[in-house]
Structure 1
């Protein structure tokens, strides 16, 4: 495995100049969904309807995923399954940070601290590899969405997450959303993955729509 889907989401969201995360809330939902989808593809978790179930706690060998397996095991508290929306809500504020830490460990971004107004420390994460990994990622997405290439399972899952969280502008900054949304929607509902993964994509998307709708509603009533 190369970098994880969550790390790919974060690479798309990091500003090349400042190293700061753009669309952080949406990126958080996408990264949380990406980790969950990756665990489904690794056959550690199953997602069906409104519920998820931890099926196998064997380490995958990927630090980011294995940390989430342990966290999910503790969160389940011996229960067979719990709601997908509850897990995503729990992970949304943590997923970007966890993915960024992994990118730092891989040497793909650097952790820098600067002071806002000369007083308040703020972290930012500029790229360190000249953008090679990000360019390859964007070329892969462009080949599928713009040029019509057939995706592999991971790329289809990534595009589905981009579509469901409205991150088209980060993934395709030189295109208007209406130019790419029909194709990303096709990826989100198409036959590009195994049945279990396709079902998980559908149900994770539905869960993200549910929790983001609640979050938006709460922001208007606060």
Structure 2
């Protein structure tokens, strides 16, 4: 089964037992970044420097991406370009929900509803088909731990994981220092056209800037 990069990141971040998302804030940035990358790869969005342009609004055939095209078109408000950081900031809070919805529709996860303490509604998404996540992890292990040359989509997935510092959920039980070094190498490698690598680089910088600003704001308020 072929799923989007955003869904792959979401799967890697779901706790196998509870069905809840680990490192939710970082995962939100990663999923939003992965959707944006997919739109770049599909030639619907152009990212250059700090800015993005919506260059084609025709459907891709993938519901997750097409939904974002519509939202982005409204968000652009007739402008030719807007900041990447502004879009990621807007989309990160809802991106996980959109990815989980697609995984549910595909039958990869199931939705479970219950009430915590008998009062507060809680939703969990345990896996219904573990083969999809296993296939994703096999690709990651092959490229990062075994030194295989990743294809473009796998390299893009690794680049977003590296940008959002999701090395733990993606490579549980492995030495972080080695993982970080290898994912950085792949993220900066010659795995795609310069425009795509430039988009990844700019999104990494954008996510890093947002993370620093968020942490600074939390420290100031504390």
Q: TM-score range by the shorter chain?
A: over 0.9
Matches within 5 A, 1:2-151: 2-129=2-129, 131-151=130-150
8 Å contact kept, 1:169–1:176: no
Which is worse superposed, 56-65 or 174-183?
Answer: 174-183
Q: Secondary structure at the match of 1:80?
A: coil
Mapped contact 1:50–1:85 kept (Cα < 8 A)? yes
For 2:25 and 2:44, locate their aligned partners in 1 and report how far apart those are by CA, in whole Å: 26
Runs of 4+ in 1 over 2 A off after TM superposition: none
TM-score (norm 1): 0.98
CA distance in 2, matches of 1:49, 1:179: 29
Q: Secondary structure at the match of 2:46?
A: strand
1:179 CA drift (Å): 2.0
For the residue of structure 2 that corresponds to 1:198, the secondary structure is: helix
- Structure 2: runs of 5 or more not aligned: none
What is residue 189 of structure 1 aligned with on the other side? 188
What is the CA–CA distance in structure 2 between the aligned matches of 1:217 and 1:44, rounded to whole Å? 34
How far apart, in 1, do the equivalents of 2:38 and 2:195 lie? 12
Residue 218 of structure 2 is aligned to residue 219 of structure 1 = yes
TM-score by length of 2: 0.98
For this pair of structures, how many residues does the alignment match? Answer: 221
1:165 aligns with 2:164: yes
**Structure 1: 5+ residue stretches without partners:** none
Q: Please report how far the alpha carbon of residue 128 of structure 1 lies from its aligned counterpart in structure 2 after TM superposition.
A: 0.5
